Every structure is written in C-alpha cells, then in structure tokens.
Amino acid sequence: MTDEEKIMRQQRSRRRFGIALMVSVGLLHAPSGWLSDGLGQEVEPTVVTLDNGLTVIMLERHEQPTVAGGVFYNVGGADDPRGKSGIAHLFEHMLFKGSKIIGTSDYEAERPLIAEQDRLRDKMIAEMQKMRVRKRRGQIDDVLDPAQWTSAYTEMKKRYDELVEEQRVYIKNNELFNLYTTNGGARLNAGTMEDATFYFVVLPANKLELLFWIESDRMANGIMREFYVERDNVREERRMRTESTPTGMLNERFNSMFWQSHPYGVPVIGWPSEVESITRDDVRDFYKVYYAPNNACLVLVGDFNTESAMTLAKRYFGRIPRGEKVPPPVITEEPPPIAERRFYGEAETNPRVMIRFHTGAIGHVDEAALDVLSELLSGKTGRLYKRLVTQEEAVMGGRRGGPRAAHQSRKYAGYFEISATVKEGHQPEEVEQLILEEIDRLREGEITEYELEKVKNQVLASSVQRLRSNMGLLFQLGLFETFIGWDYINEAPKRMLAVDADEVRRVVNKYFDPATRTVGIYRTKAPDPDAEGKSEEDAELTALLANLPEEAGVHMAATIERINSSEDIDRLRRMRDSMGARMPSEDDPDGQAAMGRYMLKQVEKRLAQLESTQKESE
C-alpha cells in the first residue's frame, strides 16, 4: 500500500472522530454493564514511515488554528554510556544552542575557534586526571575547586575562557527560541526521561513548515556550541533541582538503592563526577548514533492537512540519511531482590515513608491489574486515605499531602510505590505497618464491585479527558510510540476495564512480598543553630521549592537556571518589566506572589551583574 493510500484510508476513519467522542462522553453515565465492553474513544492517527526510518504520526483536529508538534527520540538516561551518565540530558541542552545555520552569524569563523577549544580541552582533561590522582591520595579535596587547581590547569582554563569570549562574537543567543516565538510559537521546551528525549512546540497552523525546517536542521546539523559552558550550566541545574531541595539528594540515593543493577538507578541529570568528564567528542558520537531518523518519531496534532504535512516531512526529514549504527538496546536487567532494603535520612521536611516493590515493564500482562490497584488505593475515596487519614489520623491529607499509590511502568521495568507524609505524634514505622496491613487485606479479602466500578469510571473519564488537549495527545502518541507503540493509547484503557477482583488479588500476591520491599524513611532534621552553610537566598529557594509539587519545583528551578546563565540584557529587561506588571497580590493563596518575587529578584540580580560588566567594558 502506498503512503497516499494509507493517508486516504486513515482520513476516512478520522471522520468518525466526532461521533466516537460523543459516544465516549456518554459512557461516563452509562449503565455499569457497558463498562466491560471497552467502548470509548479510539485515537486513529495517520502513521507513515519514511524510507530513512523516521516514523511520522499525524492526527488532524480542526477545533483551533494551531498545531502541537514534537520530535521524540528513542533515547534517555538509561542509554547513557557507562561512565558518561547525564550525556542524554546534556545533549538535550545542546540542541537549543543552534546548528551550523541557526545561532551563528558566521559558522566558518566559529569553527577554528571550536577546534582550538577542543585541542586545549584535551590538555585540560589530562591535567584534570592528574588532579584526580592527587585527590585519591588525599593531597586535595575537590578537583572542581579553583583554589586547588594546578597552576597549569589554571592557565589553560584562562586561555579557554578567552577562546569562548572570542567565539561569542559570532553567536546569536536564543536564535532558535526567537525564530519560534516571533512566528507565534508557544510552549517551546524539551525534556529528557529515562527512556526518551523530546522537543515540542505549539505553532499557528500557517507556520507549520517552520517546525519541519528547524527540527530537521536540529536532527541533521546540530553542533556542540558553547559545550563546556553549557556543561557548567547543567552542574548548576543539578545544584538547584537536587542538591538545594529538601529531599532531592535523599530521593536520588533512595532510587539508586532500589535499582541496584539497572541503569534506572542512575539519575538522568548524571553523577557530578561523570558529567564533568563528558567531552564534546563524547556527545558528537552520541548524537550520530541516537539522533538519527530511524531512532525518532515526528508527531503532529492539530489544524493541518495530512497530505501537505507528509510532503513537508519528505522534503525536510526525508533528506537525512539513516543512522550508520543501530542504537544498542539496554540489556542489563534488575535481578530479583532477595532481601528487604531500608533507607533512612533526615531533611528539612515532614516525616515521610515510601514503600517500593519491583514490577514489570510497560505492556506487561500484569500492568493493567497493577494500575487498577493503584487507583483502588489512591484518592480521598481510596483505601489508604480511609485507613491512614480518616480512621487512624496518622498521615496528612489534603491535595498535596494525602497518601499515594502509584504504579510506574517504564520501557524496561517498573515499580509500585506507596508513600505518605506522617502527622505529628506518629512514627513512619507505624505508618509503614498500617500500609502493609492494607496490602494484606487485599490478598484474600473482598474487593467490592463498587470499588472496581469507581476505578473503571475513572478510566473512562480519563480516556475522554486525554482528548481535550492537543499537547496531551502529542505526548501520549510520542511517548507510547517510543516505549511500546503508539496504539497502546487505545489498548491500555481497555486492558484496565477488563481487570476483575481476582486479577488484583493475584498481582498483590505476586509482587508485594514484604520480605523483599524497599523502604525509605525520612525524618525531620533538627535545626542547627550554628549552621552557616546556606545563604538567606538559598534558604528562601529551598522553602519555596518545598511547598511546590515536584513538577512545578523542577520547572521553577530550571527557569532560575536559565535566568542566571542568560547573557541577553534586553531580554532580561523585558522579563523584569513584564514580571513587575503581573506580580500576584500578597494574599495569593497558592504562593504565587512569593515565587514571583523571588524570580523577579533573580532577574534583577542577573541584570545588575551584566549591566555592571557592560559599564566596566565601556
């Protein structure tokens, strides 16, 4: 079947979209007998694979004149080469620096400066290795401390910084960002997970070709512009996201204890000593293998014409050759645990308990039953809330603090975690035992039809809710395609609707062995009256991040990192004026005012630094 025939066939199926949507909405109030039929919205995109291996997934939706578009690469932190953790995340940063075309006024003038930087870096790496030997022998404490560098390394670093400044004459800062935003683009961003890296944006429908040009250019012509500067920025990002948050370091170490063999135990942002050792050549080699069209998919959702989009896909992406080397799969498997593992820590946070059990990968035959189990336990009407909050009054309730059960299936393996924030007057170990009692009640006890009906109604509601956002559909299609295949978006809800009580009890008995659980217990750290390690600014940021949901905290930390590394005075001035005009009121209940004031302070601080430097140079 030709590409054009595939398009025509799938266009006919998309005309059923509106009718199917109305049917699925009606199912939210349908008789219970309908639920097991698996009826609901089927997402049916057009899917075409180019000759070079790129998968193109297209779903027309004409409600708004915009298109959500993204490129998903089948690579993440789990694919980092041994000893080079953080390379996938670092490369995500690099692709915002532009290419041989974008981000430069004269690439041919840049190129010799980059080459000279690389030659000098080779010498710096050799000198750094000497310092690592000195550290192992106890002669110095920190190879990253300028005060402990050798004189040779100090001189080379000085010359390297001069080369960076010479290169900046040719760099067009934020050109990629500006190309999108000046053409109406919004929500431009990227992300790196354990198993995927993705780049996305929302554009006006009449600007779709811009996405094809920019993203194909990133795939074909990316260069490691300001590589070592950006590597330093990643180190600062780690400090804010992990090291400066109350439980960031504890969470990282707990996760690495849970995954003792599998690369999921290595933080996506990387271990500091390994990130520091990554070279531009390492990243170039990584780019050639993993950022090839045969290791990626392009996803479009929104107001466009499929045939026109395919023409653009072939014109821009079709010219990129297939990668010469097939990306290697992750082959390391986590061995079955043979004993209980316990992790204790102290932090400036409320006492907390987490219990984890190993489970299977996405698509595993037990995944749906474990997903149903997480819904039975979670929420204000779930078993954990009723027992731990309402009955025992042992843990905190509310939108952010309530007990939570979550099943996370990743590409290669998964886990089931139950967590709760402990109330004053109770101990984490006490809450742990209460949780285990609730698990025991599920092994042989009754699971009512009412409970299952509630979960299945939630599944149906979610299957409709997922259709409301083009961006939401973009991520589901792209990530499912990367992990297991895009059509899992339709299969997963059906599998959950088919789960019965016996299946739930079976997976509880199969996976939830208390003798092999991994437990994390955090206690509140007593204040140290003599501590002077943190500045007032660090303490303020820590307090703000502690009161934010994890995703919002990561976003805020990343935004601050971008502010602190910005060299664009005009843009910072616009940010200052805009933030000052939109500052929330002091009595804002969600803490937006405090966050806004802190961000504004960071913009003003960075602006003052740049303006001072500019004045001195004049």
Predicted confidence (pLDDT) per residue in 285-321, tens digit? 999 999 999 999 999 999 999 999 999 999 999 999 9
Q: Are the CB atoms for 284 and 118 separated by under 8 Å?
A: no
Tens-place pLDDT, residues 493-517: 999 999 999 999 999 999 999 999 9
Which alpha helices (H) appear in 417-535, and where do they start and end? 428-444, 449-465, 470-483, 488-497, 501-511
Domains in the chain, CATH or no CATH each: 69-316 (3.30.830.10), 341-524 (3.30.830.10), 537-617 (no CATH)
The DSSP 8-state label assigned to residue 521 in this structure reads E
End-to-end CA distance of the chain: 67
Q: Measuring CA to CA, how many Å separate 64 from each of 68, 160, 308, 465, 575?
A: 11, 49, 18, 17, 28
The pLDDT of residue 579: 67
The pLDDT of residue 290: 96
The DSSP 8-state label assigned to residue 321 in this structure reads P
User: 456: Cβ–Cβ under 8 A, 6 or more apart, which residues?
Assistant: 35, 496, 497
Q: Measuring CA to CA, how many Å separate 309 from each of 137, 318, 478?
A: 61, 12, 17
The pLDDT of residue 536: 56
The pLDDT of residue 338: 94
The pLDDT of residue 552: 56
Lookup result for tokens 């959950």: 496
The pLDDT of residue 240: 78
Q: How many CB atoms lie within 10 A of CB 615?
A: 8
> What is the rounded CA–CA span in Å between residue 11 and residue 60?
9
The pLDDT of residue 398: 72
The pLDDT of residue 250: 95
Ranges of the chain with pLDDT below 50:
1-39, 533-534, 550-551, 585-590
Q: Are the CB atoms for 197 and 95 separated by under 8 Å?
A: no
Return the closest-CA partner of residue 219 out of 118, 311, 299, 321.
321
Q: What is the mean pLDDT of the chain?
A: 86
The pLDDT of residue 36: 33
Lookup result for tokens 């135990």: 265
Q: How many CA atoms lie within 13 A of 456 on its CB side?
A: 28
Q: How many CB atoms lie within 10 A of CB 119?
A: 10
The pLDDT of residue 617: 59
459 burial level (CB within 10 Å; 0-12, 13-18, 19+): buried
> Residue 508 corresponds to which tokens in the numbers above?
């509880």
Sequence letter at residue 168: R
Q: How many CA atoms lie within 13 A of 1 on its CB side?
A: 11
Return the closest-CA partner of residue 292 out of 316, 314, 317, 264.
317
The pLDDT of residue 385: 94
The pLDDT of residue 388: 95
The pLDDT of residue 571: 73
> What is the rounded CA–CA span in Å between residue 72 and residue 297?
5
